[in-house]
């Protein structure tokens, strides 16, 4: 049985403790100014946009605490009355809503923070775009490949700003690693390893009465209508195929984004995906495999392994070293003909210290600079320039994860055309580009 899942908040807390000992090279920090700074013009007379939070869980309230520095919280929305009430105590002046469609249309709403479960991301975002709002959307951006294509078109047609909550794009360690790789510091890139925390192995679970104040039918949305099971809802929803794709789209949307960024393929994707489960789910329990490995290839010859790792020991103690042979700690490793670079939220290191310490004097590639993901979003709301993680980036990053998940479903290697975004001559695989949506929570729900 795999060790307990290591949450994003756990890692963020650990990162805060050791950040002081993770100094970046002085040449990089001294030259970290954005070569193309935003020109911030006023959005409103007082430059304080009205913010609506949809999804009042832990991640949503965290995002809102960051966003509230740049605007006024005018609305809160959730289908769970208890969560809505708890968050409203922090923002007592904000209006409360149970239906996001009404909330996004309310006067004074300029910006939507979308922190709903994964299977609601796209419909909420489409409704916000139709209402003329800019969006900070949590990742993974979509539940399916088709949702991503629809969302890209909708954002560009509406001419609105969307920032994907892939905050590693605003972390200097990850930007340094990707700049070094793209400027040839480790020679020709050959292989990338993205190591993710394991998922949860549990069950079988039993149904229970729906808690008072929770609209369970609406929470399920487009997914099949089932009896309420506590382990399906809120914090553990992501371990079920119906609502998400485990840690593959949770942490994978982060680390595979960095893999694409370092490869210079953030507007493309792999050409093959081969996934294998390493531990079968328990019947009646969490349905997405808790341990898995995916092998990708790209048209430029680079290969990419995305794998789960066991990151906690007995009692929930964070392990400094993996416990399964061949594992790497949670993070991204780039391997080239002249060395390697490993980067995580905790550290950056290389096969030779000089890889990091020697300045890049002639940079062919200079990546966009953002040191504060939420501030970058609000800067772009004012300037109308693309943020560091725009809709196309969010779509392509999670597409890598969706491809791995479809390979897991079908149990075989898949060929993928990243230009047409289809599986060539594979009708069965193309059947998973989208999913059936349960009425009335389909696209007509936000039309």
Dist CA 253 CA 142 (whole Å)? 10
Is the Cβ–Cβ distance between 334 and 192 less than 8 Å? yes
pLDDT given at position 3: 37
Contacts with 255 (C-beta within 8 Å, 6 or more apart), sequence order = 168, 194, 195, 196, 306, 331, 332
Residue 98 vs residues 54, 77, 86, 213, 337: alpha-carbon distances, Å: 9, 5, 14, 10, 55
Q: In this predicted model, what pLDDT tens digit does every residue of 132-165 receive, in sequence order?
A: 999 999 999 999 999 999 999 999 999 999 999 9
State yes or no: pLDDT of 108 exceeds 70. yes
Cis peptide before 200 (omega within 30 of 0): no
Q: What's phi and psi for 194, nearest 5 deg?
A: -110, 120
Domain extents in the chain: 29-168, 172-368+392-443
End-to-end Cα distance, the chain: 45
Place of tokens 């609502």: 243
297, with CB counted inside 10 A (0-12, 13-18, 19+), is middle
Q: CATH topology of 29-168 equal to that of 172-368+392-443? A: no
Q: Please state the rounded mean pLDDT for residues 28-57.
A: 71
Contacts with 10 (C-beta within 8 Å, 6 or more apart), sequence order = 318
Is the Cβ–Cβ distance between 180 and 28 less than 8 Å? no
What tokens appear for 385 in the block?
């320039």
What tokens appear for 288 in the block?
């997405």
pLDDT given at position 206: 98
Other Cβ atoms within 10 Å of 347 Cβ, number: 15
Domain covering 172-368+392-443, topology = Dihydrodipicolinate Reductase; domain 2 (3.30.360)
pLDDT given at position 32: 60
What tokens appear for 22 in the block?
């993770």
Q: Please state the rounded mean pLDDT for residues 56-65.
A: 98
Other Cβ atoms within 10 Å of 373 Cβ, number: 22
Residue 263 vs residues 153, 166, 212, 294, 297: alpha-carbon distances, Å: 25, 17, 49, 17, 12
Q: What is the largest CA-CA distance in the chain?
A: 64
pLDDT band, residue 47 (cuts 50/70/90): confident
Dist CA 166 CA 63 (whole Å)? 12
- Closest by CA to 192, choosing from 347, 349, 333, is 333
State yes or no: pLDDT of 313 exceeds 90. no
pLDDT given at position 283: 97
Other Cβ atoms within 10 Å of 315 Cβ, number: 7
The average confidence (pLDDT) of the chain is 91
Q: In this predicted model, what pLDDT tens digit does every residue of 393-419 receive, in sequence order?
A: 999 999 999 999 999 999 999 999 999
Q: In this predicted model, what pLDDT tens digit does every residue of 325-383 receive, in sequence order?
A: 444 679 999 999 999 999 999 999 999 999 999 999 888 999 999 999 999 999 999 99
State yes or no: pLDDT of 43 exceeds 70. no
Is the Cβ–Cβ distance between 163 and 136 less than 8 Å? yes
Dist CA 165 CA 236 (whole Å)? 19
Q: Please state the rounded mean pLDDT for residues 93-120.
A: 98
Place of tokens 């990053």: 397
pTM over 0.85: yes
The number of C-alpha atoms within 13 Å of 184 and in the hemisphere containing its C-beta is 4
pLDDT band, residue 44 (cuts 50/70/90): low
The pairing of strands 339-343 and 292-297 is: unpaired
Other Cβ atoms within 10 Å of 280 Cβ, number: 10
State yes or no: pLDDT of 240 exceeds 70. yes
pLDDT given at position 6: 44
pLDDT band, residue 285 (cuts 50/70/90): very high
pLDDT given at position 37: 53
State yes or no: pLDDT of 14 exceeds 70. no
Residue 100 vs residues 75, 81, 94, 107, 387: alpha-carbon distances, Å: 10, 14, 14, 13, 24
pLDDT band, residue 30 (cuts 50/70/90): confident
State yes or no: pLDDT of 69 exceeds 80. yes
Q: In this predicted model, what pLDDT tens digit does every residue of 261-270 receive, in sequence order?
A: 999 999 999 9
Top-tier CATH class for 29-168: alpha beta
């Amino acid at each position: 049985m795999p060790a307990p899942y290591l949450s994003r908040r756990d890692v963020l807390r650990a990162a805060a403790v050791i950040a002081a000992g993770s100094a970046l090279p002085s040449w990089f920090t001294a030259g970290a100014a954005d070569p193309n700074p935003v020109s911030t013009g006023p959005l409103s007379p007082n430059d304080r946009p009205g913010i609506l939070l949809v999804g009042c869980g832990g991640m949503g309230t965290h995002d809102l605490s960051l966003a509230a520095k740049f605007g006024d919280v005018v609305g809160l929305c959730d289908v769970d009355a208890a969560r809505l009430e708890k968050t409203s105590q922090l923002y007592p002046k904000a209006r409360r809503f149970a239906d996001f469609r009404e909330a996004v249309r309310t006067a004074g709403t300029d910006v939507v923070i979308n922190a709903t479960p994964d299977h609601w991301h796209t419909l909420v975002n489409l409704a916000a775009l139709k209402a003329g709002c800019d969006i900070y959307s949590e990742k993974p951006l979509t539940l399916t490949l088709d949702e991503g294509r629809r969302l890209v078109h909708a954002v560009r047609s509406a001419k609105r700003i969307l920032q994907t909550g892939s905050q590693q794009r605003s972390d200097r360690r990850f930007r340094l690693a990707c700049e070094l790789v793209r400027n040839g510091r480790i020679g020709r890139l050959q292989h990338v390893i993205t190591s993710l925390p394991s998922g949860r192995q549990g069950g079988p679970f039993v149904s229970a009465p729906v808690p008072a104040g929770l609209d369970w039918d609406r929470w399920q949305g487009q997914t099949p209508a089932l009896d309420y099971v506590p382990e399906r809802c809120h914090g553990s929803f992501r371990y079920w195929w119906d609502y998400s794709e485990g840690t593959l789209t949770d942490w994978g949307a982060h680390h595979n984004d960095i893999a694409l960024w370092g490869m210079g393929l953030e507007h493309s994707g792999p050409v093959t995906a081969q996934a294998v489960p390493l531990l079968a789910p328990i019947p009646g329990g969490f349905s997405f495999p808790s341990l898995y490995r995916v092998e990708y290839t790209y048209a430029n010859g680079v290969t990419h392994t995305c794998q789960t790792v066991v990151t906690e020991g007995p009692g929930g103690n964070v392990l400094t070293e993996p416990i399964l042979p061949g594992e790497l700690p949670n993070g991204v490793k780039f391997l080239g003909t002249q060395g390697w670079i490993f980067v995580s939220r905790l550290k950056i290191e290389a096969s030779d210290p000089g890889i990091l310490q020697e300045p890049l004097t002639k940079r062919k590639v200079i990546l966009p600079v953002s040191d504060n993901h939420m501030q970058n979003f609000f800067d772009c709301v004012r300037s109308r320039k693309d943020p560091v993680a725009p809709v196309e980036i969010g779509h392509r990053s999670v597409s890598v994860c969706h491809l791995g998940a479809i390979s897991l479903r079908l149990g075989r290697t898949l060929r993928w055309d990243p230009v047409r975004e289809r599986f060539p001559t594979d009708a069965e695989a193309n059947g998973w580009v989208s999913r059936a949506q349960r009425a009335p929570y389909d696209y007509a729900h936000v039309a």
